Amino acid sequence: MSEMNTPVAAKMPSTEEIALIKKFLSDTTLFLGPDPEIMQNHDLMPRTEDEERAVGKVSDAHIIAKIRDRIQSGCDEGYEMVEQMGAAPGAKWGDVITGVYSASGDLAIASAGGVLIFSALVHHPIKFIIKNWMNDPTVGVREGDGFIHNDSRYGNVHNTDQSMIVPIFHEGKLLCWVASTVHEGENGAIEPGGMPSMAESPSDEGLKMSPFKVVENYQIKRDILTFLQNSVREPKLQYEDMKVKLFACLRIKQRIEETLKTDGPEALVSTLRLTMENVRAEVKRRVSQWPDMTVRTYIIQDSTLRENCVVKINCKLTKTGDRLIFDFRGSSPEFTNRATNTIVAGLKGMLAQVFLCYVWPDLPRGQAAFAPIEVITDPHSIVNCSYDAPNSQSLMSIFTGFTAGQHAVAKFLYSCPEKYTKVHAPTFNMINTFIWGGVSQHGETLGNLCADLNGMGAGATVDRDGEHALAPIFATMADIGEQELNEEEVPFLQLVSKKMTRDAIAPGKYRGGQGYTMMVATKDSEQWGFMTTAQGAKIPPIQGLFGGYACGCYPLSKVKGVDVYDVLMNEPHKFKHSIEELMNERPFDGASYTTHHMGMGFEISKRGELFMISQGAGAGYGDLLERDPAGVIKDIEEGLISPGVAERLYKVKFDPATLSINHEATAAARDEERRARVARGVPFKDFVKTWNKPKPPAHLQYFGCWGDDVGTLYVGSPDITRDANVPKPNYMRHPKDVRIEELEARLAQLGALAEEKQ
Amino acid sequence: MKVLMTEYLRIDLDTEHWECRVCNHDIGPATHSYKEGTLVHNRDPREIHPPILDPEKYRFTFSPDPEWVRILEYYCPHCGTMVETEYAIPGHPPLYDMEPDLPALKAQWAAREEIKDPVVGPAVVADQGHKH
């Protein structure tokens, strides 16, 4: 044994030595990666001396409210500018936010519309700039500077989103920051559109901009701009939107300067600080009105976008006094070579959306609304992934995490007398849309998506049906856009668009809002393709509420070996306007008809081939036997549900020709169904004896905890587990290798591989 | 005093029991999951979410895969009201979804009037904006 193993009394370094060690580490840092101290903290920074002094000088509630409204208007003005002038489809349809941040980097006031998840994320890169560049002689932060950022690991949803960050000075002193963030789309990743599902490492995810200076003296530096343009598929968009974001920031700066002239810097600083502190305090007060309780739920992802498997998002929400704690331990471990992981800040951002959009929409938009709420996860989890894990499809995990939060929160809100919205069943949560890319009919290289991802069906509420195709969960005031406008720039048509998908339902006393069908076919380019990135083709990605059902499943359908434009020209009667008819009737001779899960990697499409999907339905609320029969008939009339399905599920009796309701027969049928339930239902204690299993089923690749044991995570098999606190790699095999192996095994069984050398 | 906990369930703070709000049936002690006092049905999800595409022809049909997920339906054993649903992986133990802290609940409601009808919350109405 060597002396090295002999325990010695640890010597505590002196203050001088600690300072020396810190200086040594600071001077010799080789790489300024994402800083855990910044990235793991979503609470407000402590009051600075300047803020303390400003609050001491100006704290009149009326003055604060006046300035806050003025700054809010400035943010909304900046938002409008980006929305109107931005080149990215995301900008045009509201996937944008602008905001004013405190000198310490906290988002104090954000634009009212747009993607509020950004409100919980962009403070991270600003804090990185403050910590690392402010005092660095090679960088510095000066008046006229602007910083760009997109790498999610430094604080973002995914690398499609780019921010422009501008420091605001007053008489030479940094007063606050303004920033504008847009879902730009294209970023030079291995697939067009910026959200590659094929990414197997961060190196596949395109541009990875840590926060850096790209603007000096309010001018974009052309050399850096050219490098960025050269790194993406849409150089024109990259330039245009950098300018748009910069000018939006400058407009907000102008509004701030006007406020400084009329009210002075202390009034502004105090407004920013008190807005955040007051919102934070109000959130804690509101939480205290909820019942003290623990609510458990889980949401299942049924794929990694590369293969179907079962990926658990486990959520325990506990409220005690004025504390609210989201515990996501037990969720799936991160995938080392799949893109569906998220950094924990992304998850927190989406949870902030639950509150800002669905629970307390009256609160001023900003970081403070989620600041006091706590979040716990396992290390290297799918909802708190490591630096080395790809996360370009983090939407899969932040959206299912959102739904877990929305589902759990509803169970707290029902009994709370103080409400700011109605109790709400989960809204649909997947981006069922087409991402596209290639060379357009105008010869331009493009890569982006259809804004139909914004058409998620809303969940039903306590007293009414969910609205159809209402809004995305990440931006409740976004639009689904005008497809016809898009078609002027892209070489494909949506041959069927905005038509509700019949029988893709979420039944309940109040049914969920439904989703619509999209059929696309390329027309004027030989270099064009599509991808889809959604889960939920085998397992619904949401839960119902209080006896309501979730939505069903949503696959991708393809029809190949046909030019549908020729069909429309020569045999138009053969074209059908629903996926149901086209796929079941197979009207095109010689064509192939196939179905797939919704994780289609980028695929080149030939002219006239059909790719068909549907947006999804929000969840239903309450027992479907309590649904007003007139509501069921209205659904039939509106083509949401077929008469046979309506009668079978809702037990409504009506005349098939006139749809007139037989109320007596309906009441009798519903009574009979209630009796049938009592007859077929099994007492819980007997049910669990046969239902409960000690491990996940062997026929499923299962990831996450099983039951209440959150300390043990299953990793793809009932026989492979790991300690939740001990991270390990979690590699998936290439789906084509798996398929080839299956087919080779069959060939071997038939003796067809006997001659092949190994 | 009784607290309305969900669309179909309330807790009697005096007896500390879950009750059905439709038929007043005593579901069971509120120190346990209300599910323990219900009847459960293991529902094939295809019955609720019917296949839109012909299952004879296609792998994916718009229906959930019954080997991957089931719907657990929880019924009041007296009136048959479906008080909750749970989309569950086959064999996954049912969740103890609502575990209230009864002493805290009693303390909280000691300062409140009993509410007989649920508070539904404000509706979003057009033209309710800021005006001056």
Residue ranges per domain, chain B?
Answer: 2-110
Nearest CA in chain B to A644: B50
Task: Name residues 309-348 of chain A within 8 A of B (Cβ).
Answer: 310, 312, 320
A530 in contact with chain B, both atoms CB, cutoff 8 A: no
Question: What is the DSSP secondary structure assignment for residue A356, as one 8-state letter?
Answer: I
| Mean pLDDT on A123-152 | 97
Two structure tokens written together for A743: 């087919």
Task: Give the pLDDT score at A9.
Answer: 61
The more confident residue out of B124 and A495 is A495
User: What ipTM describes this predicted complex?
Assistant: 0.96
Task: Name residues 29-68 of chain B within 8 A of A (Cβ).
Answer: 35-42, 45, 48-50, 52-54, 57-65, 67-68
- The residue of B59, B92, B125 whose CB has the most chain A CBs within 10 angstroms, and thus the best one to mutate to test that interface, is B92
What's phi and psi for A541, nearest 5 deg?
A: -90, 10
Do A320 and B57 make contact, defined as CB atoms within 8 angstroms? no
- d(CA A676, CA B27) in angstroms, rounded, equals 19
Rounded to the nearest integer, the mean pLDDT of chain A is 94
Closest CB to B94 among A423, A462, A688: A688
B117 in contact with chain A, both atoms CB, cutoff 8 A: no
Two structure tokens written together for A611: 């790719």
Task: Name residues 72-101 of chain B within 8 A of A (Cβ).
Answer: 73-75, 77-87, 89-101
Query: For A554-597, how does the pLDDT look when each residue is reduced to its tens digit (9 = 90+)?
Result: 999 999 999 999 999 999 999 999 999 999 999 999 999 999 99
| Mean pLDDT on A726-753 | 93
- Residue B131 pLDDT grade (very low, low, confident, very high; cuts 50, 70, 90): low
Do B67 and A673 make contact, defined as CB atoms within 8 angstroms? no
| Mean pLDDT on A356-371 | 93
Residue type, A166: V
Residue A71: name the closest of A180, A178, A181, A218 by CA: A178
pLDDT at A10 over 90: no
Q: Give percent of chain A with pLDDT exceeding 90.
A: 87
Two structure tokens written together for B37: 């006092």
B118 in contact with chain A, both atoms CB, cutoff 8 A: yes
Return the axis-axis angle of helices A49-57 and A265-288, rounded to nearest 10°. Answer: 90
What's phi and psi for A215, nearest 5 deg?
A: -130, 135
Which chain B positions have a beta carbon within 8 Å of A410's beta carbon?
Answer: none
Task: Name residues 204-243 of chain A within 8 A of B (Cβ).
Answer: none
A17 Cβ contact partners less than 8 Å away, ≥ 6 residues apart: none
Do A320 and B60 make contact, defined as CB atoms within 8 angstroms? no
Query: For A197-237, how does the pLDDT look when each residue is reduced to its tens digit (9 = 90+)?
Result: 999 999 999 999 999 999 999 999 999 999 999 999 989 99
Task: Give the pLDDT score at A336.
Answer: 97
Task: Give the pLDDT score at A1.
Answer: 36
- d(CA A165, CA A160) in angstroms, rounded, equals 16
Return the axis-axis angle of helices A344-353 and A395-413, rounded to nearest 10°. Answer: 40
Which chain A positions have a beta carbon within 8 Å of B122's beta carbon?
Answer: 419-422
- Ordered by start, the domain boundaries in chain A are 60-285
From residue A725, give the alpha-carbon distance in Å to each of A83, A380, A381. Answer: 44, 9, 9
| Mean pLDDT on A31-58 | 96
Task: Give the pLDDT score at B127.
Answer: 67
- What pTM, to 2 d.p., does this model score? 0.95
Closest CB to A677 among B36, B41, B100: B41
From residue A620, give the alpha-carbon distance in Å to each of A409, A717, A725. Answer: 16, 33, 37
Report the number of secondary-structure helices (H) and strands (E) in chain B. Answer: 1, 8
Query: For A497-542, how does the pLDDT look when each residue is reduced to its tens digit (9 = 90+)?
Result: 989 999 999 999 999 999 999 999 999 999 999 999 999 999 999 9
Which chain B positions have a beta carbon within 8 Å of A516's beta carbon?
Answer: none
Task: Give the pLDDT score at A3.
Answer: 40
A155 Cβ contact partners less than 8 Å away, ≥ 6 residues apart: A34, A38, A39, A121, A122, A123, A124, A125, A128, A149, A345
The more confident residue out of A446 and A458 is A458
Nearest CA in chain B to A641: B50
E strand intervals along A329-422: 374-376
Which chain A positions have a beta carbon within 8 Å of B43's beta carbon?
Answer: none
- The residue of A553, A579, A615, A689 whose CB has the most chain B CBs within 10 angstroms, and thus the best one to mutate to test that interface, is A553
Q: Are A473 and A396 in contact (CB under 8 A)?
A: no
| Mean pLDDT on A268-276 | 98
Instruction: Give the H or E element holding residue A456.
Output: none
A637 Cβ contact partners less than 8 Å away, ≥ 6 residues apart: A659
- Residue B123 pLDDT grade (very low, low, confident, very high; cuts 50, 70, 90): confident
Q: Are B9 and B83 in contact (CB under 8 A)?
A: yes
> In whole angstroms, what separates CA A102 from the centre of its chain?
26
- Residue A471 pLDDT grade (very low, low, confident, very high; cuts 50, 70, 90): confident
Two structure tokens written together for A605: 């499409």
- How far B65 CA lies from chain A's nearest CA (Å)? 5
- Helix, strand, coil percent content, chain A, rounded in steps of 5: 35, 20, 45
A179 DSSP β-pair partners: A99, A165
A215 DSSP β-pair partners: A146, A220
Residue A93: CB atoms within 10 Å: 24
Task: Give the pLDDT score at A8.
Answer: 54
- How far A57 CA lies from chain B's nearest CA (Å)? 29
A507 in contact with chain B, both atoms CB, cutoff 8 A: yes
- d(CA A549, CA A545) in angstroms, rounded, equals 7
Two structure tokens written together for A729: 């790699």
- d(CA A250, CA A168) in angstroms, rounded, equals 9
- Residue B128 pLDDT grade (very low, low, confident, very high; cuts 50, 70, 90): low
Which chain B positions have a beta carbon within 8 Å of A502's beta carbon?
Answer: 52
- d(CA A254, CA A261) in angstroms, rounded, equals 11
- Residue A2 pLDDT grade (very low, low, confident, very high; cuts 50, 70, 90): very low
| Mean pLDDT on A7-22 | 82
